Copies of this chain bind each other. A is one copy, B any other.
Amino acid sequence: ASDKILIEVQPFSAHKIEAPSNKVETTLSELRAHYLFMYRMRRMEIAADMMYKAKLIRGFCHLYDGQEAVLTGIEAALTKQDSIVTSYRDHCHHISRGGTIEEVMAELFGRSTGATKGLGGSMHMYNRKANFYGGNGIVGAQIPLGAGLAFAHKYRKEPNVAITMYGDGAANQGQKYEALNMAALWNIPIIFVCENNHYGMGTAEWRHAKNSSFYTRGDFVPGLKADGMDVLAVKQVVSYAKKYALEHGPIILELDTYRYHGHSMSDPGSTYRSRDEINAMRTERDPIERVKKLLLANGFDAAELKKMDKEVKKEVDDAVEKAKAAPIPPDHWLWKNVYAAPANTELRKVDGGYNTPDYDPEYKN
């Protein structure tokens, strides 16, 4: 299983930088890990979809299925000392940064055992210890935030980068350009990752972006484009970008990907794109199928794969059940952690009374 497998990924397109080699090495055990991780994400998001339809989840819920290779490839190239921040489409980041599927499901159900104790919901998951800074509901806001995370790495002279992930729609945001300029002026080790899934909500990229070659839109900031449906391509380009960013500062990666579901649960996802398009993606470019084929072609045991699948399904089913059984947050949690130093602060309640809030990040009291 540790034998090297040589693979040619789709060549990278480059803007003001030399592209890395498209010949990558992998092993069966690495492929196995990618497969497992992506399949876990996939099953989790499918479960979320079902639970939403069963009305166990409220509000917005943005699913990541189809895009799994992006995050998987990124994490394969980073350490947990590298910081990451993303948009509202953040369930899988919670997992990749060390959280559990149960925590995600419990959060979606609004339970006290959730990723953010039922306070944050679908769009607001974090893992401070593993340098995952959210989950952000405001399109584009995570871009300067990510530059700020990278700024901190540099300020503290740490050998780490930050990654900010945003969509093709967000790529038009002015704050992206402001962040690019400062990141370049200050040589901040930030990787701007544009997850181009070709639609910002219901708007196709050509309708929202005059130039939809997003890797070229940094002007003075170099960019690379990779197949975001191929975890090995993503890993390769992110490894290369991390090295570049630590030495030279910002770089943009455009990762060409696709979301299978609608934008959020209220969007059927089929009015502004054709069923054919979606089906073609699923059959021709699915990131999980791609790794599965590679595994089998290189002699991985099909039975073992089946077993893995079964285990994942069980993990997700169990997570859903446990999350369902978990208690809702107690009422007094409402008043926790509005401030880290709540001295002299009283917060007004609906009834006109006041509450003395506390700072209790462990939710002990």
- Binary per-residue interface labels of chain A (150-180) against chain B in the complex, 1 for a CB within 8 Å, 0 otherwise: 0000000000000000000000111111101
- Whether A341 sits at the interface, judged by CB under 8 Å, is no
Chain-B contact segment, one of A42-50, A213-221, A293-301: A213-221
Indicate the member of A176, A180, A184, A220 with the most B CB atoms within 10 Å. A220
- Copies of this chain present in the complex amount to 2
Contact flag A211-B220 (CB < 8 Å), given A174-B178, A178-B172, A181-B172? yes
Q: How far, in whole Å, are A26 and B297 apart by their CA atoms in the complex?
A: 75
User: Could you say which residues of chain B place their CB within 8 Å of the CB of A172?
Assistant: 177-178, 181
Q: Quick one: closest B residue to A221, CB to CB?
A: B210
Contact flag A210-B220 (CB < 8 Å), given A173-B174, A175-B174? yes
User: Could you say which residues of chain B place their CB within 8 Å of the CB of A181?
Assistant: 172, 209-210
- Whether A325 sits at the interface, judged by CB under 8 Å, is no
A189, chain B: closest CB distance, angstroms: 15
- Whether A6 sits at the interface, judged by CB under 8 Å, is no
- Whether A185 sits at the interface, judged by CB under 8 Å, is yes
Q: How far, in whole Å, are A177 and B210 apart by their CA atoms in the complex?
A: 11
Q: How far, in whole Å, are A71 and B194 apart by their CA atoms in the complex?
A: 40
Interface size on A, residues (CB 8 A): 21
A185's partner among B174, B184, B210 (CB-CB below 8 A) is: B210
A228, chain B: closest CB distance, angstroms: 22
- Binary per-residue interface labels of chain A (277-295) against chain B in the complex, 1 for a CB within 8 Å, 0 otherwise: 0000000000000000000
User: Could you say which residues of chain B place their CB within 8 Å of the CB of A174?
Assistant: 173-178
A88, chain B: closest CB distance, angstroms: 20
Residues 200-236 of A at the B interface (beta carbon under 8 Å) = 207-211, 216-217, 219-221
A161, chain B: closest CB distance, angstroms: 19
Contact check, B216 vs A219: say whether CB atoms are below 8 A apart. yes
Contact check, B184 vs A178: say whether CB atoms are below 8 A apart. no
Q: How far, in whole Å, are A134 and B154 apart by their CA atoms in the complex?
A: 42
A186, chain B: closest CB distance, angstroms: 10
User: Could you say which residues of chain B place their CB within 8 Å of the CB of A210?
Assistant: 180-181, 184-185, 219-221
A13, chain B: closest CB distance, angstroms: 16
Q: How far, in whole Å, are A209 and B219 apart by their CA atoms in the complex?
A: 12
Q: Quick one: closest B residue to A177, CB to CB?
A: B177
Q: How far, in whole Å, are A176 and B181 apart by their CA atoms in the complex?
A: 13
User: Could you say which residues of chain B place their CB within 8 Å of the CB of A221?
Assistant: 210
Q: Quick one: closest B residue to A216, CB to CB?
A: B219
Q: How far, in whole Å, are A208 and B172 apart by their CA atoms in the complex?
A: 21
Contact check, B178 vs A173: say whether CB atoms are below 8 A apart. yes
Q: Quick one: closest B residue to A186, CB to CB?
A: B210
Between A and B, 12 residue pairs with Cβ closer than 8 Å are A172-B178, A172-B181, A173-B174, A173-B178, A174-B177, A180-B210, A181-B209, A185-B208, A185-B209, A185-B210, A211-B220, A217-B219
- With A172-B177, A173-B178, A211-B220 already in contact, 4 other A-B pairs whose C-beta atoms are closer than 8 Å: A174-B178, A184-B210, A185-B209, A210-B221
